[in-house]
Amino acid sequence: MIPCMPRPDPNPFPPALAAPPLGAKVKASATLSEVFAAPGGEAAALGFVMARLEQAFQERAQIKGRAAAGSHKPAASDRTPKPLTPILWLQERMVWREAGRPYLPGLGPRPLLLMQLSRPADILIAAEEGLNCNVLAGVVAELRGNPSALSFTALKRLALRAEASGVPCWLIRQSAEPGLSAARERWRIAPLPSDANPDDPRAPGTARWKLELFRSRDARPGEWEARHERTGESDEGRAPDHLDLVAAIRDGTLAETGAATRRRGFG
């Protein structure tokens, strides 16, 4: 088992939750991000993306609520539960065959608009259409390998569109090499053996992943061990998808230098 640091983590998406400046924060979280799944880590990537999307959506709702509260009283309709806005989920057919499709009972109550297409170029077109529609909670595209359609220009278009409309866009890349990309955040994810289960020593407990942010515009790159808890909404007011991040490397200086070289490398 890898020893975890007990000290508070260097959170990669921190300034947001504490005191979000209006407007700027929405754009910061609503952008194009990429996550590269290690072989066998496709489901982990899915869980990670869902957790991040939920977080981004809640930040957005908070900011909206604050803006509304500033101008006038909250409307009566805010008290009645609104239907959850859906996520547009685009899957290349090969990904679907290889890693399976997202399974709603394991993901949460948010509805998914699922579209399975066979050509990567179609996926990008559909993702752009989705990003034009600002009522979506997010757009997720799953792609396999390094298709030529996934050029820097295409990704730049997606990034600009996501930032213009305020809808976060995630690419899940399967068996792909991280090449040139316009994604604002690029992650690598691999599953780790889970925590001990407090109720049953033979059973797997809370899921853990090895997360690596190797390129980012706003945050410092680094490596983390993530603990993914899927709790019910009633549990102590925590979000349904809770992500705990702990620095993976014990030596802080080592992490610094490692991050620095990496940043230089991707300059």
Partner 1 sequence: MALVDEGPQGPVIHAMNRAARLAGVTLGARLTDMRALVPGLRVDHADRAGDRAALRQLALWARRWCPWTAADAPEDSPAESHGLVLDTTGSDHLFGGEPAMLAEMEGALSALGFTARLALASTWGAAWALARYAPPRSLLRGVDWANSPMLMQLPPAALRLEAETVLLLNRLGLRQIKAIADLPRLSLARRFPRHDPARNPLIRLDQLTGHLPEPVCPPEAPPLFRADARLPEPIFDPTNHLPELCQDLCDQLARAGRGARRLSLTVYRTDGETSRIEAACASASREARHLAFLFRDRLEKIKPGYGFDLISLEAPLTEAMTIRQPDLAGETETTLELAHLVDRLAARFGSKALTRLEPAQSHIPERAEASRPALAPVAPQPLPATERPQRLLTPAEEVVVLYAVPEGPPAQFQWRRRTYRIARYQGPERIAPEWWHDRPGTRLRDYYKVEDAAGHRFWIYREGLHDDGRGADPRWFLHGVFA
Token digits for 113? 């608009």
CB-CB contact of 245 with 219 (8 Å) = no
Measuring CA to CA, how many Å separate 209 from each of 6, 37, 43, 68, 183? 17, 11, 11, 37, 21
Burial of residue 263 (number of CB atoms within 10 Å: 0-12, 13-18, 19+): middle
Give residues 109-168 in contact with partner 1 (rule: CB under 8 A).
109, 111-117, 122, 125-126, 129-130, 132-136
Q: Between 179 and 200, name the residue whose CB sits nearer to partner 1.
A: 200
Q: For residues 176 and 199, what is the distance between their CA atoms, to the nearest angstrom? A: 38
Tell me the closest approach of the beta carbon of residue 251 to partner 1, in angstroms.
Answer: 24
Would you say 91 or 181 has its CB closer to partner 1? 91
Kindly report the number of other CB atoms within 10 A of residue 221's CB atom.
21
Residue 47 or 222 with smaller CB distance to partner 1: 47
The tally of CA atoms less than 13 A away on the side-chain side of residue 123 is 29
Which residues in 183-212 contact partner 1 (CB under 8 A)? 190-194, 197, 200, 202-204, 207-209
- Is 48 a binding residue for partner 1 by CB under 8 A? The answer is yes
Contact flag: residue 46 with partner 1 (CB under 8 A):
yes
From candidates 28, 53, 107, 154, binder to partner 1 by CB under 8 A: 107
Note the residues at the interface with partner 1 (CB under 8 A). 40, 42-44, 46-48, 50, 75, 77, 83, 85-86, 88, 99-109, 111-117, 122, 125-126, 129-130, 132-136, 190-194, 197, 200, 202-204, 207-209, 228, 230
